[in-house]
Structure 1
Amino acid sequence: MTNPGETTSCKMCGTCCIKGGPTLHHEDMALIREAVLDLTDLVTLRRGEIAHDPVQEVLAPLPEEIIKVRGKDSTWTCIFYETEGHTCTMYDQRPAECRVLDCHDPAPLTAMYDQDRISRADLLPEGHPLFELIADHDAKCDPHGLTQLAKAARNDDVDAYRELVEKITYDQEIRRLAVEKGGLPEESLDFFLGRSIEALLANMGVRVRQGAQGMKLVFRGK
């Protein structure tokens, strides 16, 4: 209920935009078809990846793959948010979640948040040449498996540590080849392959460092 003197209009504070871009739904497909959104504007969060649920306000593994508008400057702040003027550069054609978002009444967003969300398969045409690469990468770099390896490596499991390094190396090499040999824009890799293993591990408190002796994993608090 609105208190006396309280407004229900948007305060243009930018809080929702700073917390992260919207997750896309089937009704947002037109934004892709009409080139309002490009694949380089998007990031794939894969099934099993630990992510922030803006409705429940918790961190939890994703039950399914989702596509979000990416962040900028190594943050989750939506790339279409202009900090200086507290404005959205695509406001008139903003995605569905942005249109229903109401700071004073979260019910509309709660009702739609986990409904009709799209995945990479919805945005790529049948028979797309990258489907095989995506499937292979997903199998070798499964987020749930990475979480388990990171936990074991933190507890001094040498085999888990070695396997985690191998997966990071594979992920780095696939991304390099996709750009150098496949001609993909580097900005599109977070859509096609999801976030890098380094980014996922950083969320688990694991840093990847390259030195004269090769790759080293540094565990926060250890």
Structure 2
Amino acid sequence: MASPVGASVQSSSLRCPFLGEANRIHVSGISVSRVLVVRKTLECKESRIGKQPIVVPSNVNLTMEGQDLKVNGPLGELALTYPREIKLEKEESGFLRVRKTVETRRANQMHGLFRTLTDNMVVGVSKGFEKRLQLIGTGYRATVEGKDIVLNLGFSHPVRMEIPDGIQVKVEDNTRIAVSGYDKSAIGQFSASIRKWRPPEPYKGKGVKYADEVVRRKEGKAGKKK
């Protein structure tokens, strides 16, 4: 039988010391003359969110030094350090743009993220953010005492939490909590820590939930039929 084109079959015999010199192993090898390597160029699509400009109000001041940005407004001051794949540009029209310095997948992923973080900083120091929670359950209530928020959530003792600096907490009708401030991430973290004490259960809906949260309810076990 003829050998295939571009390949040669070689046969060699190897001695096996475990089986004795009389036994031999035959190995056939195929040598390939050419190997074709295909390289595919990775194309990174530009982020839809990242390419949108950021509107800077007149009452907000920006300070850019290298990869550091400071945003100062009537409600407070925030700072952020950008990675080397991202740079900031302030246009003559007053818009702020977040751009990529390299075309890589990592830069494309961070493009939209840091544009969102930058926009949250500008909106936070100028207008602020608010997160609302609601207490559902018999005897569940909340009050603000000085710099602490006190929660009665059915435990043997009330839960007392210190309100961080830069965050304001208001309680309405003893069951509705409004957490506000200029740092969106801090507001979300503090609100989540309040909810963590008694997350809403799926049967009766008792617990602490966000005002816009939809709790999926479950049916309880039905009694045995007689």
TM-score (norm 2): 0.24
Which of structures 1 and 2 has the bigger CA Rg?
2
Q: Which of 1 and 2 has higher RCO (CA within 8 Å, sep 6+)?
A: 1
TM-score (norm 1): 0.25
Higher helix share: 1
